[in-house]
Amino acid sequence: MSIKDILFFALISLTVGLLANHYLNLDIGFLNDIENSLVSSGQSGKSSTRGVGGTGAGGAKSNSAECESLKKFQSERKTIALMELDAAKKQRDITKIRETEAKLEELALKERAVCR
């Protein structure tokens, strides 16, 4: 087996691990870190807000009525904040970028607190 084959299988294994961690909510620490770093560079779609601010090693997330209503309420706020962040990055406004990232972090903290 050549080095090329080993790297290919390692890449495939890592991809499968990331997919399983994301869709099965396994909350494996280093895979969450990799996912968050990949998502933060993309910032598109609903899945990009899943790990904003990092994820803890808590238990499975509940789908209580309070959690669901909070997610619906905050989804529009997250979308607006992500659009503001994109605009600030295009304008290279460091202050606005930091403020928007802080707003996204606050939204993520609220969601994690309610949806545990």
Question: Which tens digits make up the pLDDT trace of 59-103?
Answer: 444 567 778 777 777 888 888 888 888 888 888 888 888 988 888
Total structural domains within the chain: 2
Task: List the helix and strand counts (H, then E) for the chain.
Answer: 4, 0
Whole-number pLDDT of residue 56: 44
pTM higher than 0.75 for the full model?
A: no
**49 inside domain:** no
Residues 65 and 110 in one domain: yes
Higher pLDDT, 51 or 73: 73
Residues 71 and 112 in one domain: yes
Higher pLDDT, 94 or 43: 94
* Most confident of the ranges 6-10, 50-54, 55-59: 6-10
Residue ranges making up the domain that contains 32: 1-42
> Burial letters for 45-83: b for 16+ Cβ neighbours within 10 Å, e otherwise?
eeebbbbbbebeeeeeeeeeeeeeebeeebeeebeebbe
- The pLDDT of residue 41 is above 70: no
28 burial (CB, 10 Å; 0-12 / 13-18 / 19+) is middle
Residues 69 and 22 in one domain: no
**51 inside domain:** no
**50 inside domain:** no
